[in-house]
Amino acid sequence: MSEFGFVDGEMVMIHTRTLDCGLTLVMEPIASVSSCSIHWVVPAGTAYDNEERVGVSTILSEMLLRGAAERDSRRLSDDMDRIGLERDCGASGPHAWLVGTVLGQFLDQALSLFTDVIRQPALPGDALPACKSLAQQAIESLEDEPQQEVMLYVRRRHQKPPLNRSSYGFMDVLESVTTDELRASWSAGFVPGGSILGLAGDIDPDAVTRQLEDLLSGWAGSQDDLKPTGPSQGGRGHLQRDSSQLHIGMGWAGPSASEEDAILERLATRILGGSTSGRLFTEVRQRRSLCYSVSAGYRARRDEGLISLYAGTTPDRAAETLAVCEEQINGMRSGVDDEEFARAMKGMRGSTVFNGERIQARSAALVGDIYAIGRARTMDERLGELDSVDRDRLNAYLEARPAPVPTIVTVGSESLGPDFAEEPPLCHRTVEEC
């Protein structure tokens, strides 16, 4: 299947193919660049971990680049460096991922190396202690990233399990995971069924397809699709911590990626708090000086959307900060004016084009589209969706949209009231929970 579009007068084509093994391959040749971005996801993220062993996938992702096929860790690293292959890997939500960027002339070698990592990781036992240490240090550093931390707590409360899990895992699992567990997790999740490989840049789609059919011959298996295992918790929570600051995180439901209203929600969230001209920044920070940081964002997922808000303030101003934020959220139902709409449209169009010109963002967008809506959109189509929106349509959506019921979590020395329940730690469990 191919999708056509035009960007700045240049025709672009997206090729989507299902290989014999079952992997979905999506490619966008871009003639104006000499490099290629690789974005490979497999159904082996933290959402697939055993409920009692969340964190196995975290360590597995740390181990992926520690050798593959006949190469030990040093040789694999040397072979990747020799062709200038920039790479990274990780696990979160439904997927483990392996990404890289390389010059187009070395793409065939990069794909061969990445295939070995996916299909034949060494997972050496002598590398396990170092990987455990890195994962544990990441947990310990969370206190230094309060905005990220509080939003992880919001996600845990707001989303349904198992998609509400943190990619950091549980500390006791990180300490006790074995190589046998890692191999079992790899065997179950590093399979072609449910995997997506996205390529954008200097590529020959037919040559890439032929090479991958050969490299992936004999690869088999699939992973069950994820289903919620229970309802979301919602409500309000507070994590007690000695601090001169108080961090507020909020999350509420929005349209899923496949819904027509997703583009409207993107615009609305940008007007609310997606830039320094947004209502939150103007009202909460500039006019009232209630906080040092405030912003909002929206992420459209396959089965649901999540609108999130963060505010960093002090304990004495926290209650008023929360009240004004809620006032601004609810005030969106009254609609937006011409100036706000025009500014948001220009900003959205600019960010869409800028991301389209970054091959790493394009390969990620191709994979994200395939997973979330079942097909990849050209940049021309994305811009067309934006251009189809006018202020009347946006305001009609805002007026009809149900009033948000946000999940709220605060982190700091003082709770904002008795309705904020004590929040258990994110990555540490009690003896009874283990």
Are 268 and 201 part of one and the same domain?
no
Mean pLDDT across the stretch 362-376?
A: 97
| Order of all β-strands in the sheet with 236-240 | 291-300, 305-313, 246-254, 407-412, 236-240, 421-422
Local confidence band at 5 (pLDDT 50, 70, 90 cut-offs): very low
Specify whether 73 is located in the same domain as 193.
yes
The pLDDT value recorded for residue 8 is 47
Kindly state whether residues 243 and 173 are assigned to the same domain: no
pLDDT at 429: 80
For 280-323, the pLDDT digits (tens) are 999 999 999 999 999 999 999 999 999 999 999 999 999 999 99
Q: What is the pTM of this model?
A: 0.94
In this structure, the answer to whether residues 204 and 262 fall within a common structural domain is no
Supply the mean pLDDT for the chain.
94
| pLDDT (average), residues 121-138 | 97
Residues 211 and 277 in one domain: no
Residues 197 and 240 in one domain: no
CATH number (domain holding residue 349): 3.30.830.10
Q: Exposed, middle or buried: residue 318 (CB in 10 Å: 0-12, 13-18, 19+)?
A: buried
d(CA 363, CA 198) in angstroms, rounded, equals: 5
Quick: pLDDT tens for 321-331: 999 999 999 99
The least confident of 5-14, 334-343, 368-377 is: 5-14
Over pLDDT 90: what percentage of the chain? 93
**CB of 361 within 8 A of CB of 355?**
yes
Full domain range(s) for residue 141: 2-215
Mean pLDDT of 19-26: 98
Residue 179 has pLDDT above 80, yes or no: yes
Work out the pLDDT band at 2, boundaries 50, 70, 90: low
Taking the C-alpha atoms of residue 208 and residue 112, their distance in angstroms, rounded to an integer, is: 11
Predicted local confidence at residue 6, as pLDDT: 47
Residue 420 resides in a domain: no
**Using 50, 70 and 90 to split pLDDT, how confident is the model at 430?**
low
Three-class SS state of 231:
coil
Q: Which of 182, 215, 248 is the last residue of a domain?
A: 215
Given this model, what pLDDT does residue 7 score? 44
Residues 41 and 165 in one domain: yes
Round to the nearest angstrom and report the end-to-end CA distance of the chain: 48
Q: Specify the number of domains making up the chain.
A: 2
- Let me know if residue 429 belongs to a domain: no
Q: Evaluate whether residue 129 is within a structural domain.
A: yes
Give the residue from 215, 245, 270 where a domain finishes: 215
CA distances from 298 to 314, 375, 395 (A): 25, 21, 18
Is residue 152 located within the same domain as residue 208?
yes
DSSP state of 170: -
